[in-house]
Structure 1
């Protein structure tokens, strides 16, 4: 029995032989109830204030004795989503079949241990060299190039690094060479497997980071270079000759570029995504595969419309002489774009 119940019973006993003043009884009960409610609110307010103090202490002084370093609702923020090229099912990695490296511009024959490092970009170009750029948290970016011959590696430059004279090329003995011009850099040439040649380069940083980078490469897997973009149809006599993906600021932005060529000139297909990109243009003056499209006024670029926060454009103008609007239409009609560009697990 509560204190309020006892008081009501006492009043009832006092009035047992006479009339009960129900108005007085109800008034007193309500008054006591209000006082009790006020006390409860005050206690609750003090508890919340204490929680606030403890929460502040947990954030500003995680090492205080007896206090948790972080309250339950202050859990660590979710990890940043990293761009990862999807696996190329059934395709062997570089270490398994080195002769395949650089032969298919839409396939990377190497991967990265994403529990250690983050992809920044990847490329397969006409030089038949495959490359990825990545970084460890807080460290300078590292570029790793791989080819099926030492000559292919040595004749390929690294952006931002001084080219080396042909007679002074590095051997593939695994030693780290230091370059001072144009900036302090580290370069390592080595053979991950027989018939496979690789080079790792880093501007700034230290030797330990470069050595760590070597062990972050996965030579036993293959991945699709185009990521969320694939071309399922090409103009007659044409083929994809290069692929590059820039994911340095992913998931805020992403750029995929595929070059299609016949003998010499190329037509480019670019997928450009950005969270801050204005909405896709609404007016159309063409139709591609039953979908609205827009031919730019200069008559050299065709864009497939309807992609949120993204542009998919086929550029068949200079220097891509020899390609036409019909070629661009065929390319875009067969383009496969993943529905969610910010979720690499959907790029399969």
Structure 2
């Protein structure tokens, strides 16, 4: 879920500082700035950027680079997932059950975004949009409790106001806001169909504006959650639980990162994440073997390797729970990259 990165970052900061921290503003800033840097790395002016890496979290904090003239912004459609077969009806039992399918469409919300992070699995589906002039998150779930469990990812003053009734299209719902400087972070929650719950977090001036934006989400189509790799080796009893992918509008580097969560019925799970990194790996190959790859340990709970311009990591704890190093190496041994990182329709 969205809390994975927040929880790991908070744990790291608590370990170093000895006190509780609120990671939400740090995470939001790091995600946006780090993605801009990774997507524009090839267009940086030499010597014009200084970067610092936060250990264990792979979050990059940096001054954004300058986009070169041969790295234009692509149309908003570049942020969309490939279409999936659909009869135009979304069923509650299907939402978040298939980690390969997203059962909503947000084309109308993408115009102001530079990055879109899609996620599906474990009972919930979502997309988070980020850009210089607009940020938003939409989530669709089978229960309201799953929406209540989402951690806030957009910045605000942390003073949510009372809920009021609102209409989203022909459906009733509730809305509330949290002050955020000169603007308000609105939360609109409604049931697009019986047995389904939806929530849009977006910056807006008024409640009606926020509700109008929520009404632009459609539920008459489906999309495939895809990442540029396959996992051909699963632990005994393991299956795919969750998929997430971040796409950007850079013509040269449209893939930012993608993750698959693998787990079993006993509650064990691990995350395999690939991040685009054309610079390769300055640390060199590791001393562990995973199929055809050389792997190294990063701390005590992360395994890392480099495959076709991607840093690939297996998180055994923090972003995982209960798998051993040997099992993580077996999963990485079955990692198979896509041929073209810039064509999600071929993944």
TM tier relative to shorter chain: 0.5 to 0.7
2:189 equivalent in structure 1: 189
Q: Give the structure 1 partner of residue 96 of structure 2.
A: 102
SS at match of 1:305: strand
- Cα 1:247–1:209, aligned 2, differ >3 Å: closer, same or farther? farther
Which of the pair has more CA radius of gyration? 1
The answer to whether residue 311 in structure 2 is matched with residue 343 in structure 1 is no
CA distance in 1, matches of 2:166, 2:335: 40
Instruction: Answer yes or no: is the 8 Å Cα contact 1:280–1:311 preserved in 2.
Output: no
Aligned residues between the structures = 263
Relative to total residues, which structure has the larger helix share, 1 or 2?
A: 1
Please name the residue that 1:33 is paired with. Answer: none
Give how far 1:281 is off: 5.8
Give the Cα–Cα distance (whole angstroms) in 1 for the partners of residues 194 and 277 of structure 2.
Answer: 41
Matched ranges for 1:1-348 at <5 A: 79-80=74-75, 82-88=78-84, 90=85, 95-113=89-107, 117=111, 118=113, 120-124=116-120, 126=122, 128-134=123-129, 139-160=133-154, 162=158, 173-174=167-168, 177-181=175-179, 184-205=184-205, 210-211=210-211, 213-247=213-247, 251=253, 254-262=256-264, 263-275=266-278, 277-279=279-281, 282-289=284-291, 291-296=292-297, 298=299, 300-308=301-309, 310-317=310-317, 320=320, 322-347=322-347
Task: Give TM-score scaled by structure 1 length.
Answer: 0.61
**CA distance in 2 between partners of 1:111 and 1:273 (Å):** 26
Deviations 1:65-88 (A, max 9, x none): xxxxxxxxxxxx673572332334
TM-score, normalisation: structure 2: 0.61
Root-mean-square deviation over aligned CA pairs: 3.8
5+ long unaligned stretches in structure 1: 1-76
The alpha carbon displacement at 1:207 in A equals 5.2
1:255–1:195: structure 2 CA closer, same or farther, 3 Å change rule?
same
Q: 1:294 to 1:152 in 2, by over 3 A?
A: closer
Unaligned runs of 5+ in 2: 1-71
Identify the structure with the greater strand proportion: 2
Measured in 1, the distance between the counterparts of 2:164 and 2:212 equals: 20
Q: Give CA-to-partner distance per residue, 1:133-154, whole Å, 9 cap, x none.
A: 236x874212111112344334
From the superposition, tell whether residues 101 and 115 of structure 1 become closer, same or farther in structure 2 (CA, over 3 Å): closer
Instruction: Provide the secondary structure at the position in 1 that maps to 2:307.
Output: coil
Measure the CA separation in 2 of the matches of 1:157 and 1:297. 27
